[in-house]
Amino acid sequence: MVSYLILAIVGLAFAYVANTVRCFAVNLAAAKKSGLPYVCMPVYTFNRFWLSTHLIWLPLCKKILPASWLTWTDFAIPDWGWTQKHGIYEKLGCDMFIVVSPGKNLLAVADADAVNQITTRRTDFPKPIDLYGSLDVFGKNVVSTEGAIWRHHRKITSPPFTERNNRVVWEESLRQAKSMMAGWMKPDDEVSKPLHDVSDQMMRLSLHVISLAGFGVRLTWPHEDEGPQKPPPGHSLTFKDALTLLLDNLLVVLVFPKWMMKWAPNKTLNETYEAYTEWYKYMREMYNKKLDDVTSGRAGDGMDLMGALVRGAGYSADSPPDTPTMNEKKPGNPNPSKPILTEDEILGNAFVFILAGHETAANTIHFASVFLAMHPSSQRRLQQDLDAILGDRPSSEWDYDDDVPKLFGSMCGAVMNEELRVLPPVVGIPKTTAQGVPQGLSAAGRHYSVPAGCFVSLSTAGLHRNPKYWPHTDLEDLNNFRPERWLLDDEAQQSASSDSQAQEQGPDKEGPDTRPDTASTLFRPLKGSYVPFSDGYRSCLGRRFGQVEILAVLATIFKTWSVELDVSMFLREGESEETLGAERKREVWRLADERARELMRTGMGTIVTIQLRGEKVPLRFVRRGGERFGAGVVGK
Ligand code: HEM
């Protein structure tokens, strides 16, 4: 009996190895046929088993194998697109290459021309939607679907993203940013305490903005609340607590089945389940209220995402939900017996808007603050531009139509663009080719054939550092945050057309995105070389929403405050920042700067978006004029 078992195990192992070798040979042959450069790997980096155990095997391989056998380890961690950036393309001498493995071929792209072709040939290079299944927590949505179903979702979810609605985003962002700062400092304070949770606070700010602008629910900061908030009748958590808990434990929600979250003897799982069910209840209440508003002809305020989703699903005053023919009347409904969007799909879209919209913008504001603390002279230049644009007017008088285009075209826009260049929240935008259908692709005057069933990664980290596309002093300069690279000299500025961002409208519902990424008064990257918001048909729906929010928050903070690296951990006993001599000041700042650089180099990891996963960079905000570590002190 035992010998049969051993035989069966050996047989299975043999079959597994034989199949692995066969798959590798097939993928290698396809890569050779493609005409593209390729490198070989013994494992597929995104294989589930490898993903969960690579931290055990990799050090082991590095210990026992000779260095010449280890070239594949460059690609063996899931975040290799980030750790390698453009360096790997330089090493291989090309801007596109295939990583061949037994599981799948992967095409890595840092070529702008190829990116343009891929993003505009939607059916040839669709999204690998199996990767996005976990986003269907509440229902299918515009992010997790493809083909006709995606078109359907996109058509219904696009209308609220208009300039009129971005005005609401602007106003709420100004309000929330002021409030966040008030939570850190009293009106007479000159300096904040060391802040170790700036990223969490920015996340909260961004959540507050989307909550009001998207769903009409204004969220408050703890210092604005009069005592702890009570959940309303029928709820065990407040809306804010449910949403915050849900997003704080997002990974739990995406990975664990709901029954396990409910029944497992684990507090985090149980609490996350409670947040999940509570948020669902709130969204259903919001949905029902909106349904009532829409079917009785009452208009929604502001951006009103939920209202747009309900109206898009076919409900109106003429077609309340109990009208049997409601959906038959709607053009484009492939199956008249079913609603245009089901209730689950409406809630699914509401959830991904919050997910896609809050972390990306929050990261940008957080890292822009960290970078500005590390580069005081760029910060001063930003503040000079803010003074020139906004003068002495209080933020209640800042004007969306007048001021936003100017902010876009100033150092404020340059800081935002540069942060998104250096640290795009999505470092590899995933696409694929269909099984059985290779796809032609041309780049640098040559024609290639991308293998069928190939995973394609548009490497934002690589493209954004490709020396072909960016003004730079040397290669290292491309890794650095230098917003001044976006500023044009006077002559170039004059020849640039007058502000195109001011006239920008919402995204096209179905066509590829042809809108420029940046203001015309700043450096305009070659199309396809700068894609923090992706591009083409599947470009970000909330791009302008995010940009307006980021500009509003940066302007609010830096008009009044400066940010500095907190140096407390480098002070000796008895030392204080106020009494440090010039030399010692320079020394502690250098140490804080080095630590920040090291963390940004080694501490980043991707879960949905890229962020510092362990230790954070502590910051302090000081009233302008009271800086302790200005450009004069730190020498940059
Ligand atoms: C700095 C801010 C933002 C950045 C950098 C960003 C980036 C991106 C990227 C790279 C994609 C493509 C993802 C992929 O193909 O897998 C995307 C898609 C999307 N984003 Fe954003 N985003 C931002 C803000 C927002 C906001 C504020 C919202 C909504 C309120 C939003 C909603 C969406 C949606 C719905 C999609 C899917 C579009 C589709 O597939 O048709 N994003 N975003």
- pLDDT 10s digits, 365-384: 999 999 999 999 999 999 99
213: nearest Cα among 510, 544, 531? 544
Domain boundary among 350, 382, 401: 350
The reply to whether 78 and 200 lie within a common domain is: no
Indicate if 179 and 301 belong to the same structural domain. yes
Q: Give 195's DSSP letter.
A: B
The answer to the question of whether 540 is labelled as a binding residue is yes
The distance between the two most distant Cα atoms of the chain, rounded to a whole number of Å, is 88
- pLDDT value, residue 501: 43
Residue 361 lies in a domain: no
Please give the mean pLDDT across all residues of the chain: 87
89 and 159 within one domain = no
Ligand 1 atom showing the smallest separation from residue 153 Cα: 41
Q: pLDDT tens digits for 293-317?
A: 878 877 665 567 788 788 777 776 6
Q: Whose CA is closest to atom 1 on ligand 1? A: 361
Long-range contacts of 112-115 (CB under 8 A, 24+ apart): 112/463, 112/466, 112/469, 112/526, 112/527, 112/528, 112/529, 113/442, 113/443, 113/444, 113/528, 114/441, 114/442, 114/443, 114/528, 115/458, 115/463, 115/528, 115/529, 115/531, 115/535
Examine the domain organization and report whether 159 and 134 are in the same domain. no
Give the atom of ligand 1 at the shortest distance from the alpha carbon of 213. 30
Any domain includes 268: yes
Do 251 and 301 sit in the same domain of this protein? yes
Looking from the CA of residue 426, the nearest atom of ligand 1 is 10
Residues 134 and 25 in one domain: yes
Judge if the beta carbon of residue 361 lies within 6 A of ligand 1.
Answer: yes
pLDDT score recorded for residue 374 = 96
Per-residue pLDDT, averaged over 56-66, amounts to: 89
Query: Is residue 93 domain-shared with residue 209, that is, in the same domain?
Result: no
pLDDT at residue 195, as a whole number: 95
Contact 386, 559 (CB under 8 A): yes
Strand partners, 537: none
The reply to whether ligand 1 has any atom less than 6 angstroms from the CB of 541 is yes
Q: Is residue 90 part of a domain?
A: yes
Confirm or reject: Cβ of 165 under 6 Å from ligand 1. no
Cα–Cα distance for residue pair 564/587, rounded to 1 Å: 15
For the Cβ of 354 lying below 6 angstroms from any atom of ligand 1, the answer is no
Nearest CA to ligand 1 atom 35: 541
User: Of the candidates 350, 374, 403, which is a domain's last residue?
Assistant: 350
Best-predicted range by mean pLDDT (256-260, 482-486, 627-631): 482-486
pLDDT digit string (tens) for 403-436?
Answer: 999 999 999 999 999 999 999 999 999 999 998 8
Establish if 221 belongs to a structural domain.
yes
The pLDDT of 247-267, averaged and rounded, is 88
* Nearest CA residue ID for atom 6, ligand 1: 533
d(CA 29, CA 194): 57
Atom of ligand 1 nearest to the CA of 425: 5
Q: Convert 477-525 into a string of H (helix), E (strand) and C (coil).
A: HHHCCCHHHHECCHHHHHHCCCCCHHHCCCCCCCCCECCCCCCCCECCC
- Note the pLDDT of residue 331: 43
Q: What percentage of the chain's residues is helix, strand, coil (to nearest 5)?
A: 55, 10, 35
Q: Are residues 21 and 164 in the same domain?
A: no
The CA 204 to ligand 1 mean position distance, Å, reads 18
10 Å Cβ neighbour count for 214? 25
Ranges of H-type helices in 65-185: 80-84, 87-92, 112-120, 147-157, 163-184
Contacts of 574 (CB under 8 A, 6+ apart): none
**DSSP assignment letter at 425:** S
For ligand 1, pick from 540, 606, 610 the residue to mutate: most ligand atoms within 8 Å of CB: 540
**pLDDT of 7 over the 60 cut:** yes
Q: Does 461 map to a domain? A: no
Least-confidence region, from 180-189, 393-402, 424-433, 476-485: 180-189
For ligand 1, atom 9, name the residue with the nearest CA.
533
Helix, strand or coil, per DSSP, at residue 415: helix
Indicate the residue among 350, 367, 398 that finishes a domain: 350
Quote the ligand 1 centre to 32 CA distance (angstroms).
35
For ligand 1, is residue 360 a contact (CB within 6 Å)?
yes
Nearest to 465 by CA among 420, 426, 524, 425: 420
d(CA 262, CA 276): 10
* 554 has a pLDDT exceeding 80: yes
pLDDT above 80: residue 31: yes
Closest by CA to 174, choosing from 403, 345, 501, 500, is 403
Least reliable range by pLDDT among 150-159, 211-220, 319-328, 480-489: 319-328
Residue 545 Cβ < 6 Å to ligand 1: yes
- Identify whether the C-beta of residue 459 lies closer than 8 Å to the C-beta of residue 110: yes
Torsion sign, CA atoms 372, 378, 382, 383: positive
Question: One-letter amino acid identity for 32?
Answer: K
Is any atom of ligand 1 closer than 6 Å to the C-beta of 532? yes
User: Is residue 223 within 8 Å of 314, Cβ to Cβ?
Assistant: no
Number of residues in the chain: 636
572 falls within a domain: no
Number of structural domains (the chain) is 2
38 within some domain: yes
Phi, psi of 248 (to 5 degrees): -65, -30
pLDDT at 400 over 80: yes
82 and 220 fall within a common domain? no
Q: Can you tell me the mean pLDDT for 463-478?
A: 96
Contact between 295 and 315 under an 8 Å Cβ cutoff? The reply is yes
CA of 549 relative to ligand 1 center, distance in Å: 14
Query: Which of 101-110, 509-518, 606-615 has the highest mean predicted lDDT (pLDDT)?
Result: 101-110
Which is it for the CA torsion 43, 425, 354, 338, positive or negative? negative
Question: Would the CB of 180 count as within 6 Å of ligand 1?
Answer: no
pLDDT grade for 456, boundaries at 50, 70 and 90: very high
Q: Are residues 108 and 171 in the same domain?
A: no
For residue 356, the CA-to-ligand 1 centroid distance in Å is 5
Pair (179, 115) in one structural domain:
no
Question: Taking 70 as the threshold, does the pLDDT of residue 327 lie above it?
Answer: no
Instruction: Answer whether residue 567 shows pLDDT above 90.
Output: yes
Residue of 342, 348, 293, 288 whose CA lies nearest to 314 = 342
Q: pLDDT confidence of 159, banded at 50, 70, 90?
A: confident
Helix (H/G/I), strand (E/B), else coil: 247: helix
| Confidence tier at 229 by pLDDT (50, 70, 90) | confident
- 322 has a pLDDT exceeding 60: no
Q: Which domain holds residue 71?
A: 2-139
Which among 360, 427, 431, 455 is the best mutation to test ligand 1's pocket, defined by most ligand atoms within 8 Å of the CB?
Answer: 360
The pLDDT, as a whole number, for residue 324 is 38
The rounded Å distance from CA 121 to ligand 1 centre is 19
Say if residues 540 and 518 touch (Cβ distance below 8 Å).
Answer: no
| Residues 169 and 317 occupy one common structural domain | yes
Task: Quote the pLDDT of residue 390.
Answer: 97
**Residue 269, token pair as written in the block:** 């799982």
Is 429 close to ligand 1, i.e. is its CB under 6 Å away?
A: yes
Q: Which two tokens stand for residue 560?
A: 């009044």
Residue 279, in any domain of the structure: yes
What separation in Å is there between the alpha carbon of 351 and the centre of ligand 1? Answer: 13
Take atom 37 of ligand 1 and give the residue whose Cα is closest: 143
Average the pLDDT over each of 47-51, 260-264, 462-466 and give the range with the smallest value: 47-51
Q: Is the pLDDT of residue 510 over 80?
A: no
Instruction: Supply the residue whose CA is at minimum distance from atom 32 of ligand 1.
Output: 542
Confidence of residue 323 (pLDDT cuts 50, 70, 90): very low
